[in-house]
Amino acid sequence: MNRTAHIQRVTKETKIDLEVDLDGSGAGTASTGIPFFDHMLEQLGKHGGWNLRIEAVGDLAIDTHHTIEDVGIVLGTAVKEALGDKAGVRRFASALVPLDEALVQVALDLSGRPFLVYDVDPVSEWIGTFDPQLAEEFWRAFVVACGITLHMRSLSGRNGHHVIEASFKGVARALRDAVTIEGAGIPSTKGTL
């Protein structure tokens, strides 16, 4: 089974070219013009076990919001496409990820029903040129485009970098488990996800 996708999306605000291979080696590159965000996207690839390439050009002179949200849309669309009908996937997964004083809990379901519970205190106002409030916008866009249920909670943390990074790593680890093939059929009594 080839669980890959290549998505290109162009709007008046952003131009994004993204490739994902869910059965990759964890190699990833991201170039969005927002260095901390690039670092977080590379964490998704590394800890998700995906090969991930993201190139995004956005209207950063206005704000970083459009770029961050649109990357979430494109990544969610790519993961959904790469999953296909989701036959054989584990479907449910969770992770509890520490990063020094920060601890983030993540649970998700490849349900086909988008829903986000985001209870992550970004702690700091800015991390370099990254507005931590936009992490929630990224995850909302990702969840809607991918069609998954995602719950994320920060249980502790004082350093914004640590909290946001633990949340990205937590989602990566949970997704890595959820997309694992462990059977043959669709893991739903409805027969579809």
Residues 4-18: pLDDT tens digits? 999 999 999 999 999
Encoded amino acid at 79, one letter = V
- Would you state the pLDDT for residue 124? 82
Class of domain 4-178: alpha beta
**Cβ atoms within 10 Å, residue 180:** 15
Rounded CA-CA distance 75/52 in Å is: 9
Confidence of residue 3 (pLDDT cuts 50, 70, 90): very high
Residue that has been written with the tokens 């998704």 in this structure: 44
Q: Is 55 in a helix, a strand, or coil?
A: strand
What is the reported pLDDT for 122?
83
Chain-centre distance of CA 148, in angstroms?
11
Name, in order, each residue with C-beta under 8 angstroms of 90's C-beta and a sequence gap of 6 or more. Answer: 177, 178, 179, 180, 181, 182, 187
Residue-wise pLDDT tens digits, 110-156: 999 999 999 999 888 899 999 999 999 999 999 999 999 999 999 99
Q: Give the whole-angstrom CA distance, residue 80 versus residue 86.
A: 9
Tell me the domain boundaries of the chain: 4-178
The size of the chain, in residues, is 193
